[in-house]
Amino acid sequence: MASHVNNVQIAKNTVYLYLRMIIIMIINLFVVRKTLQILGEVDYGIYNVIGGFVLIFSFLQATLTTAAQRFFSIYIAEGDKNKLQQSFNLNLLTFGMIIVALILVSETFGLWFINNNMNIPNERMNAANVVFQFSLLTLCITMISVPYNAMIIAKEKMGAFAYIGVVEAILKLIVVYLISVVDWDSLQVYAFLVFITNIIVFLLYFFYNNKHFKETKLKFYWNKKEFLQLFAFSGWNFMGTIAFVLRSHGINVLLNIFFDPVVNAARALSYQIYNAISRLSGNFITAVKPQIYKSYASADYQDMHKLVLRSTVISVALISVIIFPILANTEFILNVWLKEVPQNTVIFTQLILLNGIIDATDGPAIASILATGKIRKFYIVTSSVTLLNIPISYILLSLGAHPAITVIVSITLSIIVVFIRAYFIKCLININLSDYYFLIIRIIVACALITGLILSVFYNKANDILSFILYSLLIAFVVILVFTLLVADFKDVKIVANMIHKKIKR
């Protein structure tokens, strides 16, 4: 019975987050298009590479976010409200300490690197420094809001999480309008308004938490043992997070060293598309993650294993339904979306989206590993493999390789990490390794089959909006059919079929 309730809660939360994703995706794609038009390729590239440089230091934000969600969810499962409040306040204090250190590092090493090693036109160097300062302030505000965000997710109040996300997207629309009418340096104004947007979002999280959750009332709490425990967990998780951040933002800096900001703009636009789409599987993982943590805390390991396998299939299927239609008509979509498409944007987009399908397998497995708290060896191995992206890409770029080689390296390493991760979930949560490997192989075969069909039948066939919609629906149907026949568990397919049949009979 508990498992049924959990599945209903996951489904309900996924719907909230799915609707949130659709609204935000539509708004964000429009915002990116208008921002590129207003700023121009060079300024847009500068903003993304400078913002990306600051985000290299945001690994602590992502690390402590994961730690906060994990501890909050387990204390909720145990019903210990006092420990939950103490953990919240300890996380908040920890974030404050990290922000002070972050500012010191950024205002010394960060400023030196930007002014001495970045490929930025001299006439835009002053604007780049202003962008850096506002990006740093934005990062600090985002970090301090994380415990509030994590509490909403741990409490599974996805409705509130969705509404605040939509408000944030609407604020971005207002930002685009303002930079188009304000008579000042558009790049500097844009960085300032993004900072103001994040302050407003933080206040929304703050007031919601204080109104609904007694555990988020501010109360000084310090416990050295728990602080060290938090950092022991976060310290190893840090390795995985910094590896991911360096893969995305570190490569951006690397490309700026070898190429001009237009290449950064092309890569940034590609990631805007991927980020908009990846929120779908990301939102699903956000909904399922608390249930994985709580299943582990309740020692319901059998349910946890089923949840990991089932959610891996759903995560990949959800993102594939959107990615494959885009892969089939990338050039058409970019030409409709952008008036002028920067060189290399098409190849960057296609490769990054393929990498996104591979990455969609990691959420449930990583959540189950984090639930155990035994993450040291896991992150040492997987992070070491992922970090190879930087030196390998540097060597290849030094030899004159195309900038897209950085994504090809990332794809190769991501595939290797998938199988390494499988070994660790066997060791840590005792999942059946053959079941997991067989699932991953079925996903690979399904994606290869779909890719072959797209290249032979659907590739670049759309020449107007109507044909694009029709081809996209047809490709989405093919994706669903292939995943149903080759990947999904027969019992799950039967349950869904019975549910649909009952709905039709009503």
Task: Measure the CA–CA gap between 329 and 480, rounded to whole angstroms.
Answer: 19
- In this predicted model, what pLDDT tens digit does every residue of 153-170 receive, in sequence order? 888 787 787 788 888 888
Q: What is the pLDDT of residue 74?
A: 83
CA 317 vs. chain centroid, Å, equals 17
Which one is predicted more confidently, 358 or 70?
358
- In this predicted model, what pLDDT tens digit does every residue of 384-433 receive, in sequence order? 898 898 899 999 999 988 898 999 999 999 999 998 999 999 988 888 88
What single-letter amino acid sits at 376?
R
Q: What is the pLDDT of residue 9?
A: 60
Q: Which helix (H) or strand (E) holds 365?
A: helix 362-372
What is the mean predicted confidence (pLDDT) over 44-56?
67
Q: Give the 3-state secondary structure percentages of the chain, helix then strand then coil, rounded to 5.
A: 90, 0, 10
Residue 5 pLDDT level (bands cut at 50, 70, 90):
very low
Nearest to 51 by CA among 260, 272, 252, 352: 252
Task: Measure the CA–CA gap between 103 and 412, rounded to whole angstroms.
Answer: 35
Q: Mean pLDDT over all residues of the chain?
A: 82
Could you tell me the residue ranges of all domains in the chain? 2-505
Distances (CA, A) of 496 to 191, 443, 484, 489, 493: 47, 20, 11, 11, 5
Task: Measure the CA–CA gap between 162 and 21, rounded to whole angstroms.
Answer: 8
CA atoms within a 13 Å half-sphere pointing along the CA-CB vector of 81: 5
- In this predicted model, what pLDDT tens digit does every residue of 211-257 receive, in sequence order? 888 888 888 888 888 887 777 777 777 777 777 777 777 787 788 88
Q: What is the pLDDT of residue 145?
A: 87
Radius of gyration of the chain (CA): 23
Q: What is the pLDDT of residue 60?
A: 60
- In this predicted model, what pLDDT tens digit does every residue of 172-201 receive, in sequence order? 889 888 888 887 888 888 889 989 998 999
Q: What is the pLDDT of residue 116?
A: 83
Give the global pTM.
0.71
Q: Which helix (H) or strand (E) holds 87?
A: helix 81-105
Whether the per-residue pLDDT at 42 is higher than 60: the answer is yes
Which one is predicted more confidently, 57 or 339?
339
- In this predicted model, what pLDDT tens digit does every residue of 91-133 receive, in sequence order? 888 888 878 888 888 888 878 887 887 777 788 888 888 888 8
Contact 149, 162 (CB under 8 A): no
What is the mean predicted confidence (pLDDT) over 9-27?
68
- In this predicted model, what pLDDT tens digit does every residue of 459-503 receive, in sequence order? 888 888 898 899 899 999 999 999 988 887 776 666 556 655 565
CA atoms within a 13 Å half-sphere pointing along the CA-CB vector of 365: 29
Q: What is the pLDDT of residue 1?
A: 38
Nearest to 37 by CA among 259, 326, 337, 267: 337
Q: What is the pLDDT of residue 470?
A: 92
What single-letter amino acid sits at 433?
L
